[in-house]
Amino acid sequence: MPVEPLRLWQLRVFTGPGALGNTTGVVTVDPGTSAGEMARWAAMLGYPDTAFIRGTAQGLEVLTFSPYGEMRLCTQTLLATEFVLRTTGEPAPGEPWRALTRAGTVSVLRDDDAVGYVDLPAGRTSVRRAGGAVVVDTGRARAYFTRTPGEVEATRLSPAEVRDYCRAEEVSGICLVAPTADPWLVRMRVFTMSLDGAEDAATGGAAGGLPALWHAEGRPWPGQIRVDQGTGGPPNRALLHVRATAGTGAQVGGRVELIASGRLMSPPA
């Protein structure tokens, strides 16, 4: 893909019935663009996550920033970038795309049903206990609490409470997880440091930790599941697809919709 600097695509990732997913930006930049410049762009754009892509001798590099800082790995921006590449004819149909990220090379593939998947192999996943939580790291460490659906719905956490907990436990987010009467559907809410402690409508890495959580809690994995994340109406909800791979690995998928494309007109302040 020829990288024309400062092209912008706005997309929604993890869409589905009753779920508008998360707004996501993809921006092309010159190889010499600094992390500070990208951070300022991300803060100015204000999307929950923005991918900055640039060509290197090794391939296409994807660097992800929230309005509050850089993230080593983000499934949401990888799915958005893969969707943009598909519109330009790269990669070929049925061929996986490999992105260079801060967490290493990550594969993204697309099924015939038009759902893209980010591969999170078991070698990148670690599990530990922290009090009443199971901490799963799929690129970022998150604390998982299994609750009933009613408890998940009723929970209220302030950003300050989330920040204090995450700093004390050295995690990047809090995940409230509730299996439902439907064995292929899981209810989840995520509060994350990437949004300064606020709730996120869609978090692919958190969904990718579910097979490891199921394994840690001794529960059989039911097959490919759907994750209903967020709270309230469609603008704050997302639908994610998760399937387990070897060991405690996972593939996290979702549908992507292009909203608009254009060009950035002014440099970050």
Same domain, 75 and 162: no
Give the separation between CA 64 and CA 35, rounded to whole angstroms.
Answer: 10
Same domain, 146 and 105: no
Tens digit of each residue's pLDDT (9 = 90 or more) over 77-124: 999 999 999 887 777 667 889 999 998 999 999 876 678 999 998 888
Bridge partner residues of 199 (DSSP): 191
Tens digit of each residue's pLDDT (9 = 90 or more) over 22-63: 999 999 999 989 999 999 999 999 999 999 999 888 888 999
Give the separation between CA 52 and CA 39, rounded to whole angstroms.
Answer: 10
Closest CA relative to residue 16, chosen from 171, 239, 234, 221:
239
Same domain, 136 and 111: no
Give yes or no for a cis peptide into 91 (omega within 30° of 0): yes
Same domain, 212 and 145: yes
Whether the predicted model's global pTM rises above the 0.85 cut? yes
The CATH number assigned to the domain holding 33 equals 3.10.310.10
Domain count across the chain: 2
Residue 160 belongs to domain spanning: 122-247
Same domain, 54 and 150: no
Same domain, 105 and 158: no
Same domain, 78 and 129: no
Same domain, 45 and 145: no
Give the separation between CA 134 and CA 145, rounded to whole angstroms.
Answer: 7
Same domain, 156 and 199: yes
Average pLDDT of the segment spanning 250-268:
90
Q: Is residue 268 part of a domain?
A: no
Residue with tokens 């009443």: 132
Q: Is residue 62 part of a domain?
A: yes
Binned at pLDDT 50, 70 and 90, residue 199 comes out as very high
